[in-house]
Amino acid sequence: MHPLRGVAAIVGTCDTEVGIVPDKGPTELCSQAIRGALDDAGLTLADVDGLITCNSMADPYMYHAEMMAEYLQIFPGYTLSLGAGGGATFAALHHAASAIATGMADTVVVAMAECLRTGLTRDQAMAMQSSSGHPQFERPYGPTVPAFYGLVARAYMDAYGATSEHFAAVAVSARDHACRHPFAQMREPITIEDVLASRMIADPLHLLDCSLVSDGGCAVVLTSAERARDLRQSPVYLLGAGEGHSHEHISATHNLVTSAAADSGRRAYEMAGVGPGDIDVAGIYDCFTPVVLIELEDLGFCGKGEAGDFVTQGGLALDGALPTNTHGGLLSHSHTGNPGSMFALTECVAQLRHSAGDRQVADAQTALVHAQGGILSSHCTVILGRENT
């Protein structure tokens, strides 16, 4: 048995309001999420001895976790400020579980917030777009983030005969779920035709193939399995975690259509002692629709090239083979940048607590969350369960 399997549990979660939140900055949203997650756990700030955060672009600090500790006036024995884009969220869980297992900390909060929608000036937003990419060998060519993913999308279409309709089905599924979430940013139903008729952002990606631009914050509290049993919420155990890192710059990738999700997934499954067939509900990083297809395949839910049909046939629906992004995902719930995938995590925790209301997947026992940062660069997969035996 892997020494980290089941030793830590998520005992508290909190999503702040998301979408357009002009009256709060990222630091306050992060603080609000931390205090909310502790309330949910029945713990207080005094219980926190470990803090992991991710920096904010709208309100950056040199030492971000220390800044948040200062803001909250807590004095932890362990902090870490992560920066690996969307993949940082679940890597943070991996670190938190390690810290708990090795005695570096007893109760670790993982918290992130960002105001991409209202916290950046237009110049800052454009600078952020143009700052991605290698400074000498990519950025001079004028790439945008959607165009980087357009390269992936086109290669995937060419390799497997995937179509724009396959991509659109991912967006429609996400929107169906968001329509059941009271706080999702986009709650009007859409159709495949709506996606195809939306304007091109980076051919072959339409506007509705792209995720949102949002404000919001999110936090989770982890503690030891032993302590978790005495707390208010039914614990959600971290059974497996794995990372995979293949490149920083998309021009340096060795494969545009198979990602390091294959590595992170294999490591997480091995640690958890489960396989794709054991997963009842999933959170799959959906910054752009084709990414979901590639990740579904690389995580073993479909054969290569088969995810388009899987999604078109309702595979991601609440009653489908793999209910996925039941909160609406980055495509329809919110995309706050680095913290974006945290909301998929808190949704999967709600699913495993059986408290997801209208979105509940019947008798969900085991969940998988996967996130990636950069341009299919930095991957982390986490497997969660109601039991740690």
Partner 1 sequence: MSTHEGKNLPRPTPETQAYWDAAKDHRLLIQQCSDCDTHQFYPRPHCTQCGGMNMDWVEANGSATLVSYSVINRPVSKAYADDDSAILALVRLVEGPQMMTNIVDCGLADLAIGDALTVVFEDWTDEISMPKFKRTR
Q: How far is 81 from 92, CA to CA, in rounded Å?
A: 9
Q: Give the residue carrying structure tokens 């207080």.
A: 44
Which residue do the tokens 């109601």 mark?
386
Terminal C-alpha separation, the chain: 11
Contact between 12 and 43 (Cβ < 8 Å): yes
Contact 63, 56 (CB under 8 A): no
374 binds partner 1 (CB under 8 A): no
Angle at 178 between CA 175 and CA 181, to 5 degrees: 165
> With CB under 8 A, what is the number of residues at the site for partner 1?
38
Phi, psi (degrees; rounded to nearest 5) at 290: -65, -25
Q: With CA atoms as reference, report the closest residue to 287 among 220, 219, 334, 350.
A: 334
Q: Which is nearer to partner 1, 227 or 249 (CB)?
A: 249
**Is residue 204 within the footprint of partner 1 (CB under 8 A)?**
yes
Q: Exposed/middle/buried for 189, CB within 10 Å: 0-12, 13-18, 19+?
A: exposed
Q: Determine, following the binding rule CB under 8 A, whether residue 129 of this chain makes contact with partner 1.
A: yes
- We find the least distance from the C-beta atom of residue 201 to partner 1, in angstroms, to be 6
**What binding mask, one character per residue, do residues 133-172 give for partner 1 by CB under 8 A, x or -?**
xxxxxxxxxxxx-xxxxxxxxxx--x--------------
Instruction: Decide if 19 contacts 117 (C-beta within 8 A).
Output: yes
Q: How far is the CB of 135 from partner 1 (least distance, A)?
A: 7
Contact 263, 244 (CB under 8 A): yes
Residue closer to partner 1 by CB (options 101, 207) is 207
Using the minimum distance from each CB to partner 1, give the nearer residue, 101 or 196. 196
Question: For partner 1, which is the closer residue by CB, 205 or 261?
Answer: 205
Burial (CB count within 10 angstroms: exposed 0-12, middle 13-18, buried 19+), residue 83:
exposed
Stretch that binds partner 1, among 28-36, 129-137, 301-309, 334-342 (CB under 8 A): 129-137
The yes or no reply on residue 201 touching partner 1 (CB under 8 A) is: yes
The stretch among 166-174, 197-205, 263-271, 312-320 that binds partner 1 (CB under 8 A) is 197-205
Residue 288 identity (one-letter amino acid)? F
- Which span (41-49, 179-187, 194-202, 274-282) binds partner 1, by CB under 8 A? 194-202
For the bound state, the minimum distance from the C-beta of residue 329 to partner 1, rounded and expressed in Å, comes to: 22
| Shortest spacing between CB 213 and partner 1, in angstroms | 13
Binding mask 287-326 for partner 1 (x = CB under 8 A): ----------------------------------------
Candidates 172, 153, 111; CA nearest to 336 is 111
Are 267 and 381 a contacting pair, CB within 8 Å?
yes
User: Smallest distance from the beta carbon of 167 to partner 1, in angstroms?
Assistant: 13
**Residue 256 near partner 1 by CB under 8 A:** yes
* Least distance between partner 1 and beta carbon 255 (Å): 11
**Residues that bind partner 1 in the complex, under the rule CB under 8 A:** 126, 129-130, 133-144, 146-155, 158, 199-205, 249-252, 256
